[in-house]
Amino acid sequence: MKIAFFSSKSYDRTFFEKHNDAEHELTFFETSLEPHTAKLAEGFEAICAFVNDDLSEEVIQCIAEFGVKLIVLRCAGFNNADLEASEKYGLKVYRVPAYSPEAVAEHALALILTLSRKTHKAYNRIRENNFSLEKLNGFNLHGKTVGVIGTGAIGVAFCKIMLGMGCKVLAYDIKVNEELEKRGVKFVSLVELLEKSFIISLHCPLNPSTKYLMDEAAFSKVQTGAMLINTSRGGLVNTKDAVHALKEGKLGYLGIDVYEQEGDLFFKDLSEVVIQDDVISRLMTFPNVLITAHQGFFTNEALAEIATVTYQNIADFEQGIETGNVVK
Ligand code: NAI
């Protein structure tokens, strides 16, 4: 099959070429998929898209007219895809639901530990021969209450890690996970989770019911000095409200791997560019905020699994097999 990759990076090429056992014809475009780049899809049967590619009705209609039959998302989230439009224009959409839940859960832990033990500051200090411990005091995770919102594949992996750290784990999800309950996780209401947790970690998808889950009203309920971790999707947090909560001291720490407006910034080297986004610029000035650029998934194990499952999705499409990886 002829497949066009959008938003592709060197590592996409490396892993997709390595696992291309069926010898598909691969073309890698560095540009993202947008209305003005959609014409690049002409002549391809499938396009392989990533988290910030635009799969709106305008783009889907355009690529359908160029003969594209299949969209394979090389990610778990599919909030960027207009599924009504894909159905209307007869395009199947597949995703990779759980390539490595542990990769994202471990990254959430990395954000927590960096913020709680200030290892990023220690690293810079030591490189300048500053061996002082002043202001590097942190806090133990052991004994803290951690609230997990969304207990799917990643949320489950994260709960297990936090239980292992000796934390008390509260969870909120639209459906209770009995396996986690048996391990000692307590499912509570969203309000109770916000009020009782010192660390809150978001692992639910972005959809109309979760958009701005963490807004001014939610921040007013959290413990003063609480930590919020978001490795899920930027739109779960109203960033302006988060800035306000940080300035007030209501929010004590913020660790984010995703950001509402990340499409304009993440995965790009903008080191010589004047950033126009004043909200992320403000966030970057806080000493208690840690930002990574959507790298939660970024382990060798996960990249290999993404390539393997994407090729399996293509094989299933070719054979007309409907699997759970089809997004509707
Ligand atoms: P999943 O589909 O296995 O689990 C999502 C969970 O959220 C489910 O248990 C579901 O019931 C729950 N949920 C849905 N609506 C909810 C609501 N309104 N309130 C509370 N819970 C709700 O998804 P998975 O694999 O655990 O991924 C979670 C999210 O992580 C993805 O949607 C994606 O946005 C993000 N992600 C981030 C990555 C990164 O590199 N930072 C990589 C992969 C995924």
Q: What is the pLDDT of residues 102-142, one digit of tens each?
A: 999 999 999 999 999 999 999 999 999 999 999 999 999 99
Q: Which of 30-34, 97-101, 217-221, 276-280 has the lowest mean pLDDT?
A: 97-101
Distance, in Å, from the CA atom of 91 to the CA atom of 87, rounded to the nearest integer, reads 6
Find the helix packing angle between 10-18 and 300-318, rounded to 10°.
60
Gap from CA of 161 to ligand 1 centroid (Å): 17
**Mutation choice for ligand 1 from 179, 203, 290, CB with most ligand atoms inside 8 A:** 203
Structure token digits, residue 56 = 């709106």
Residue whose C-alpha is closest to residue 37's, from 29, 28, 27? 29
**Mutation choice for ligand 1 from 52, 74, 172, 204, CB with most ligand atoms inside 8 A:** 204
pLDDT digits (tens, 9 = 90+) for 164-175: 999 999 999 999
Give me the mean pLDDT over the 270-285 stretch: 97
pLDDT digits (tens, 9 = 90+) for 41-75: 999 999 999 999 999 999 999 999 999 999 999 99
Gap from CA of 128 to ligand 1 centroid (Å): 41
Give the strand order in the sheet containing 186-187.
186-187, 168-172, 145-149, 199-202, 226-230, 251-256, 289-291
pLDDT score for 299: 97
Give me the mean pLDDT over the 319-327 stretch: 95
pLDDT score for 98: 86
Superfamily of domain 2-99+299-318: NAD(P)-binding Rossmann-like Domain (3.40.50.720)
Q: Which of 262, 272, 301, 318 is catalytic?
A: 262
Burial code (b: 16+ CB inside 10 Å, e: under 16) for 172-209 equals: bbeeebeebeeeebebbeeeebbebbbbbbbbbbbeee
Q: Which residue has the tokens 């986690």?
A: 180
**Mutation choice for ligand 1 from 104, 200, 230, CB with most ligand atoms inside 8 A:** 104
β strands within 203-274, DSSP E = 226-230, 251-256
Gap from CA of 22 to ligand 1 centroid (Å): 31
Residue whose C-alpha is closest to residue 289's, from 228, 215, 217, 220? 228
Beta-strand relationship, 251-256 and 186-187: unpaired
Domain regions of the chain by residue span? 2-99+299-318, 101-291
The response to whether residue 205 sits with its C-beta less than 6 Å from ligand 1 reads yes
The response to whether residue 257 sits with its C-beta less than 6 Å from ligand 1 reads yes
Distance, in Å, from the CA atom of 326 to the CA atom of 296, rounded to the nearest integer, reads 23
Same fold, 2-99+299-318 and 101-291: yes
Q: Indicate if 233 belongs to the active site.
A: yes
Give me the mean pLDDT over the 277-289 stretch: 97
The response to whether residue 175 sits with its C-beta less than 6 Å from ligand 1 reads yes
Atom of ligand 1 nearest to the CA of 177: 9
pTM exceeding the 0.75 threshold for the entire prediction: yes
The response to whether residue 306 sits with its C-beta less than 6 Å from ligand 1 reads no
Structure token digits, residue 310 = 């994407």
The response to whether residue 74 sits with its C-beta less than 6 Å from ligand 1 reads no
Band the pLDDT of 2: cuts 50, 70, 90. very high
pLDDT score for 77: 87
**Residues above pLDDT 90, as percent of the chain:** 97
The response to whether residue 252 sits with its C-beta less than 6 Å from ligand 1 reads no
pLDDT score for 29: 98
Q: Is the dihedral of CA 283, 284, 285, 288 positive or negative?
A: positive
SS3 47: strand
Q: Indicate if 117 belongs to the active site.
A: no
pLDDT score for 255: 98
Q: Which residue has the tokens 């391990």?
A: 183
Give me the mean pLDDT over the 258-283 stretch: 95
Q: Which helix (H) or strand (E) holds 248?
A: helix 239-248
SS3 22: coil
Distance, in Å, from the CA atom of 23 to the CA atom of 3, rounded to the nearest integer, reads 11
The response to whether residue 258 sits with its C-beta less than 6 Å from ligand 1 reads yes
The response to whether residue 173 sits with its C-beta less than 6 Å from ligand 1 reads yes
pLDDT score for 169: 99
**Residues above pLDDT 70, as percent of the chain:** 100
Q: Which amino acid is at 307?
A: A
Structure token digits, residue 165 = 């750290």
Task: Look over the chain and give the mean of its residue pLDDT values, rounded to a whole number.
Answer: 97
Atom of ligand 1 nearest to the CA of 295: 40
Give me the mean pLDDT over the 151-170 stretch: 98
pLDDT digits (tens, 9 = 90+) for 19-30: 999 999 999 999
Give me the mean pLDDT over the 281-292 stretch: 98
Superfamily of domain 101-291: NAD(P)-binding Rossmann-like Domain (3.40.50.720)
Integer-rounded Cα Rg, in Å, for the chain is: 21
pLDDT digits (tens, 9 = 90+) for 205-251: 999 999 999 999 999 999 999 999 999 999 999 999 999 999 999 99
Q: Which amino acid is at 231?
A: T
